[in-house]
Amino acid sequence: MYQIKFLKPLLLSKNLGAVNKKLRPNDLIYELSSTITITNDLGEQFFYGHATISIEARLYFNNDKSKVNQKFEVISIENIKWTPGKRAIDIKIFVPFNKLPAESYVSLYAHLNLSSETIDELNYGNVSTEELIQDTIGDKGNVFEGVKYSNLIKWDNLQFFPTSTDYIKIPKVLDELPLKSDRLALRQVGRSLLFEELSGSIARHLWDAGILINLLPEDEFLRFTEFEKKEKLTILELGTGIGLVSIHLGEIFSNAEIIATDLDDAREICQQNISLNLLSKSIKFEELDWESDKKSENDWDLIVVTDCTYNPLYYDALINVMEVESNRNTKIALVHKFREPFSESEFFSKVSRYFNIEKQSWYNINGSTLIHMGLYTRK
């Protein structure tokens, strides 16, 4: 899975001398500029291949981002070529002055052009799920053996997740230019609309395991967790980040009480996203200390943990909070993208001392990414 990302805020400026075959040299025009990249979730691996990215300049007449399908007008489209070895591309789009009326809003939206061929030069698509498991974890996967319900799933479609800059309000007075958008991007994943930071802490962007949960068919997730949509559940999410998984669960389980937890650093953006998706009544953010032995007041039906096993320093604390917050009736959905299999196998060995794995699904993403989803209960 790859994410198209804006590296810089959108910059709106005026340009009197732009060279553009669609415009006369002396026309008063706006210039919209930013920089994009295509990387994996953590940004350390760039897409190595050929792709055409369409950049749309979008005009909005209000700033109500809570409407996921808000009406907009595409006022300009530019197609740019991504080739092997690229790390970033600067964008400049020129828009006639009369296309952006004062007090309207403008953003840039970047997405894969599906009418053009996309080629991944590092294509691993022919690797079977069994081969990927063996290549990734080898003999470290003993703790996953013998599980009664084990599902192997292969996703071969190459996915590029689109993104949008935040909006800029067109000023009444041109002397106010140039203007920059906030350092936020807007991304839609499934039904969920989310702010994420252009850069910053690891808590403020999307991780692949969370995206996987969001993209799973509802019926598949319900079968896996063995819950019904209309049940009145209590759900705890550990390491919510920007809130994607809790928001998705709020959309599935309309009667659930959901507590999304993380460090205080994630509070502001997570609460913004909960409000953005109109779920403030059913989802609350709380800071949670993984090393505390004090249990919260709720008896949780479901605890969800996605991509929280990236740092070995937190393994004991994570297992501690899973123990403290669960009881014999609690189900724990632990979803993990393998990044450092040698150290990560230590976590799953520790987990197996305290929890039984009741069922599991292995997801092979394009032959290169292995994600494991396990359903655990207390021993």
- What pLDDT is recorded for position 21? 54
The answer to whether the CB of 322 falls within 8 A of the CB of 305 is yes
- What pLDDT is recorded for position 22? 59
> Which is more confident, 182 or 203?
182
Give CA–CA dist 94/232, Å, rounded: 52
Going by pLDDT thresholds of 50, 70 and 90, the confidence category of residue 191 is: confident
Q: In this model, does residue 24 exceed pLDDT 70?
A: no
Percent of the chain with pLDDT over 90: 67
Q: In this model, does residue 19 exceed pLDDT 60?
A: no
Give CA–CA dist 173/339, Å, rounded: 50
Residue 178: asked if its preceding bond is cis (omega within 30°), the reply is yes
- What pLDDT is recorded for position 26? 54
- What pLDDT is recorded for position 20? 54
**Which among 79, 70, 65, 74 is positioned nearest to 95, based on CA atoms?**
74
Q: In this model, does residue 68 exceed pLDDT 60?
A: no
3-state SS track over 134-153: HHHHHHHHHHHCCCCEEEEE
Residues 51-56, mean pLDDT to the nearest whole number: 98
pLDDT in tens, 253-265: 989 999 999 999 9
> What tokens appear for 320 in the block?
């501690």
Fold of 2-118+164-182: Immunoglobulin-like (2.60.40)
| Domain 129-157+198-378 in the same topology as domain 2-118+164-182 | no
Q: Kindly list the domain boundaries of the chain, sorted by start residue.
A: 2-118+164-182, 129-157+198-378
- What pLDDT is recorded for position 156? 77
Crossing angle for the helix pair 267-276 and 244-252, to the nearest 10 degrees? 30
Q: In this model, does residue 18 exceed pLDDT 60?
A: no
- What pLDDT is recorded for position 202? 66
Number of Cβ within a 10 Å radius of residue 12 = 22
Superfamily of domain 129-157+198-378: Vaccinia Virus protein VP39 (3.40.50.150)
pLDDT in tens, 196-225: 998 656 668 899 999 999 999 999 999 999
The answer to whether the CB of 367 falls within 8 A of the CB of 127 is yes
Q: In this model, does residue 292 exceed pLDDT 70?
A: yes
The answer to whether the CB of 54 falls within 8 A of the CB of 4 is no
